[in-house]
């Protein structure tokens, strides 16, 4: 059985290798055997490979944070899924492989007629977006939120979840050609990052009081969206794709009481939390209804891992195409 394995920390192209593993044993009681269809490559996984993530796993380490697959067999006592079901994989299920045995209780049945590519991305970005919008500021319908990384997987989920809650979103991007695309995806305003962003945001929102900013970039972009917040506003950092330290003006912190907080989906406080399951269920519905869609820039087999990681580091969502059934 083919699988991708992290052997040393460093450049993903060189550090992750294709290995042959024994076929998994048949599922035991309460377990299921799943054949993977698709599994995404996330920026957080590339950071882990480089040794820049919040945890450093013991090596060698089976990679793959999430994915979607078809149930091939179930063990005794399994009631929540059946053979032939399409299921969403739990986080850190080592999904960059052909087949895996996992506890059935951690698998979630998803629509067999929805796009499996989109369903492969249910367990990380959607819960992140939902919790960012609900756990830091008590937002009311009609309020505005500002985010950078508006074109990212999390950014698109923020747009979709905000619309469900009656919230409005300013999405900040780096490239002008993304403006029309994100407006079509449901953003209420899309702006290219610029030196006087706060003025442009005020014009786009009619001077709205913005209390929450979501930072997936770091560096000067953190300071840029923080400058758009009302007094006592909150910036929540959930990623740092720029690789730079988050910056925020001391003047905003001192005189406007703007705060900077952090979010990590894999923090122990979120393990098994009911809000995660609710977010996954909502995201599943939005995908099935065509209201949540993350563009995919490339699909690669496990044998094409070097090409996949090279493309992923250029930006955009990359998927491993393992055993697609449709």
Pairing of strands 189-192, 168-173: parallel
Instruction: Give the strands of the sheet with 2-6, arranged side by side.
Output: 16-20, 2-6, 61-62
Quote the CA–CA distance of 133 and 8 in Å, as a whole number.
36
Neighbour tally for 177: CB within 10 Å: 8
Tell me the pairing of strands 68-74 and 31-41: antiparallel
Asked if residues 305 and 318 have their Cβ atoms less than 8 Å apart, the reply is no
Rounded to a whole number of angstroms, the distance between the first and last alpha carbons of the chain is 21
Q: Smallest Cα–Cα separation from 276: which of 126, 159, 135?
A: 126
β-bridge partners, 173: 192
CA distance 186 to 139: 19
Considering 38, 53, 136, 238, which one is annotated as catalytic?
53
> Distances in Å between the alpha carbon of 65 and those of 45, 122, 248?
7, 11, 31
Q: Judging by DSSP bridges, how do beta strands 108-110 and 86-88 pair with one another?
A: antiparallel
53 is catalytic: yes
Report the relative pairing of strands 212-215 and 144-147 from DSSP bridges: parallel
Could you give the CA distance from residue 188 to residue 314 in angstroms, rounded to a whole number? 27
φ, ψ at 58 (rounded to 5°): -65, 140
- Give dist(CA 311, CA 59) in Å, integer: 24
Strands 31-41 and 317-321: what pairing? antiparallel
Residues known to be catalytic: 53
């Amino acid at each position: 059985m083919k699988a991708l394995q992290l052997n040393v920390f460093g450049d993903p192209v060189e550090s992750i290798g294709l290995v042959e593993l024994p076929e998994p044993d048949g599922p035991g009681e309460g377990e299921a055997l799943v054949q993977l269809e698709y599994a995404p490559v996330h920026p957080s996984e590339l950071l882990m490979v480089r040794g820049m993530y919040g945890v450093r796993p013991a090596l060698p380490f089976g990679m793959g944070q999430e994915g979607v697959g078809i149930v091939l067999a179930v063990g005794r006592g399994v009631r929540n899924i059946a053979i032939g079901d399409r299921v969403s994989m739990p986080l850190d299920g080592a999904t960059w492989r052909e087949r895996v045995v996992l506890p059935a209780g951690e698998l979630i049945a998803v629509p067999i007629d929805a796009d499996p590519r989109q369903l492969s991305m249910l367990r990380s970005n959607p819960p992140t977006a939902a919790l960012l919008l609900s756990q830091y500021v008590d937002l009311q319908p009609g309020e505005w939120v500002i985010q950078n990384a508006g074109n990212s997987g999390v950014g698109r989920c923020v747009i979709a979840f905000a619309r469900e809650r009656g919230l409005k979103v300013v999405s900040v991007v780096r490239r002008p050609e993304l403006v029309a695309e994100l407006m079509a995806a449901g953003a209420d305003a899309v702006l290219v990052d610029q030196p006087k962003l706060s003025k442009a945001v005020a014009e786009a929102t009619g001077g709205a009081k913005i209390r929450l900013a979501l930072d997936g970039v770091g560096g000067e972009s953190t300071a840029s969206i923080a400058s758009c917040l009302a007094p006592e506003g909150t910036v929540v950092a959930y990623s740092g794709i720029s690789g730079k330290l988050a910056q925020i003006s001391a003047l905003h912190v001192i005189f406007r009481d703007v705060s900077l907080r952090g979010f990590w989906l894999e923090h122990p406080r979120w393990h098994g939390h009911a809000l995660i399951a609710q977010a996954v269920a909502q995201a599943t519905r939005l995908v099935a209804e065509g209201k949540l869609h993350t563009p995919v820039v490339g699909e690669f087999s496990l044998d094409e891992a070097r090409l996949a990681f090279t493309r992923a580091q250029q930006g955009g969502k990359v998927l491993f195409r393992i055993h697609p059934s449709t």
